[in-house]
Amino acid sequence: MTASRPPTLDELIEKPIDGVKNQKALDHIGLLIDASCDHKSGAGTSRAFDLLEQVRTRKLSAKQQATAHYFTANAWGNKRAERENAGAWAWEQPEVHAQILELRNAVRHEGFKKVPAVLRCRILTNLANQFSFIGRFIEAAEMWDRALTEDGQFGMALGNHGVGLASYAHELYDPGHAAVIFTAAHDLLSRAAASTSFDVGDTQARAYFEIYREKIEERVDVCAIRKKLAKRRHSIGRTARERAYRRWCLANRLFLNPLNDLGAVTIASRDPLTLPSLTTPVGSEMPWVFGFFNQMKQELVSARFMLYEGLQGDKVHFSDRSVTLGNTLDYPSYSLAVERQRAAFRVAYSLLDKVGYFINDYFALGHNPRSIYFRTVWFEANGGTPKPLHQRFATSQNWMLRGLFWLSKDLFDEELKASTDPDSHALDTIRNHLEHKYLQVHESWAFDPLQMTEGLCEHRYSVSRDDFGLKTLTLLKLARAALIYLSLAIHREERQRPGSEGALASMIVDDWDDDWKR
């Protein structure tokens, strides 16, 4: 019996899906997108977008909806490949923006857990790869790790994670941290070389990963680093309470420490991140940015602890006793623990705008200091609609700075609107109500989203306590990433800054001792 030949690209383009069952229609679209990628066919990709629009009008299962998001992301990947010559360093890349949004929609969809494990690996790995491409390595590392929890031998996740880690290590100004991360990258690339879990056509990627591993071996004595790490023991606190807190920080990757992006490794259970040394005129005073960065860092670690205590609170605090509150019969959540969560949310969101203020000053952007927002600081103040990227960044090849720019796209802005995070509008609404209106936090066990939205007015926004905690954690992780990207972006700028011998000097700041913190 002769095996049936696969359909040609033209046949895939011409075939209609009218009357075809949902799953077969999606399978056809997936084949069309892959074939269009192989043949670099813009016509095939355009046809795929048309078919995706058609299939979305149907009643799809949750699993099929998640799959449709994945296929749409792949179609946007094809569109990006069509204009690859436009420059990988272009800061604004609408196809990448759309690809990230679709992949995030797939990951967060209720149908994600219902698709096959191999497809979950592909979705998470593709999302991680896009994050890494735009300079958001911190978010990429978490997605690669999630992919590897689905399949610890998934070759593309292992290899790309290893390459991404090595790229991250190149940006660090602490040689000890860089050596540890290079070694972790080597481990992942070694596992990728031995993996039997590669998709068809990934043989070139496997060879690339092996070459990258050899480059790390030329740069770092990975065997010596492994032996050194094996001998060292790292304390995570003096008391059981402190150890529990630090374990929570490690698990959620909240330490201001690049090593925490390797996961919950005890070596990362401290916050050593600072600004790198800055080049200043000889004899000049201490730059104010050192103190400002200190303050932002202190606000983050304090907000981190407030959220932890807020999430752990399960008993009535004495400060809440004898405080008379009316019973509104909708199971509200009032307590010091909830107020700690509210405070943590406020601090985390405000930190992002402070990062914007820092960027405006350091890069001399010229924005009015009274109207600086993290989401908009990157654009020309009077550039029309849409606002053009500020000329200071137009030709920059600072990877971490671009990562910071793309991180800002996770926030909602009424003028810019487009965001890479499906949850950005909810975060913005919560902040607005938290600061200016009425944010109503309800006990999670009694929260009914449909019932709580009945009669909703502009003054009130309802959220469950669990969901509010998760959203606050999301903001803290964003703020933490922003501070790391900011520090490393400045390190890159300082390395590239042209100097004048005898007129400039590097200014390094000593540590403030823990015993002085009262």
Query: What single string gives the DSSP state of each residue in 47-104?
Result: HHHHHHHHHHTS---HHHHHHHHHHHHHHHHHHHHHTGGG-TT-S--HHHHHHHHHHH
Give the integer Cα–Cα distance in Å for 166 and 38: 29
Number of residues that this document lists for the chain:
518
Lowest mean pLDDT, pick from 105-114, 161-170, 211-220, 326-335? 326-335
List phi, psi (to 5°) of 379: -110, 160
Q: What is the predicted pLDDT for the residue at 193? A: 86
Tokens 């969901």 locate to 467
DSSP conformational letter for 275: P
Inter-helix orientation angle 137-150/155-171, to 10°: 160
Closest to 164 (Cα-Cα) out of 202, 209, 124, 120: 209
Residues of the chain by 3-state class (helix, strand, coil), percent to 5: 60, 5, 35
Q: What is the predicted pLDDT for the residue at 515? A: 64
List phi, psi (to 5°) of 300: -65, -50
Burial class (CB within 10 angstroms; exposed 0-12, middle 13-18, buried 19+) of 335:
buried
Instruction: Output the pTM of the full model.
Output: 0.93
Q: How far is CA 460 from CA 184, 429, 434, 463, in A?
A: 48, 10, 10, 10
Give the integer Cα–Cα distance in Å for 57 and 25: 13
- Tens-place pLDDT, residues 119-163: 999 999 999 999 999 999 999 999 999 999 999 999 999 999 999
Range picked from 459-463, 467-471, 495-499 for highest mean pLDDT: 467-471
Q: What is the predicted pLDDT for the residue at 417? A: 73
Q: Are strands 278-281 and 438-442 parallel, antiparallel or unpaired?
A: unpaired
Give the integer Cα–Cα distance in Å for 366 and 92: 21
Q: What is the predicted pLDDT for the residue at 361? A: 93
pLDDT cut 70: percent of the chain above it: 90
Report the chain's C-alpha Rg in angstroms: 25
pLDDT(291) > 70: yes
H/E stretch holding 507 reads: strand 504-507
Question: Which SS3 state, helix, strand or coil, does residue 464 take?
Answer: strand
Give the integer Cα–Cα distance in Å for 143 and 149: 10
pLDDT cut 90: percent of the chain above it: 74
Higher-confidence residue: 278 or 119?
Answer: 119
Neighbours of 149 (CB within 10 A): 11
What single letter denotes the amino acid at residue 146?
R
- Tens-place pLDDT, residues 423-461: 999 999 999 999 999 999 988 887 776 555 544 566 788
- Tens-place pLDDT, residues 196-220: 777 656 778 888 899 999 999 999 9
- Provide mean pLDDT across the span 500-514: 58
Question: Are 482 and 404 within 8 A, CB to CB?
Answer: yes
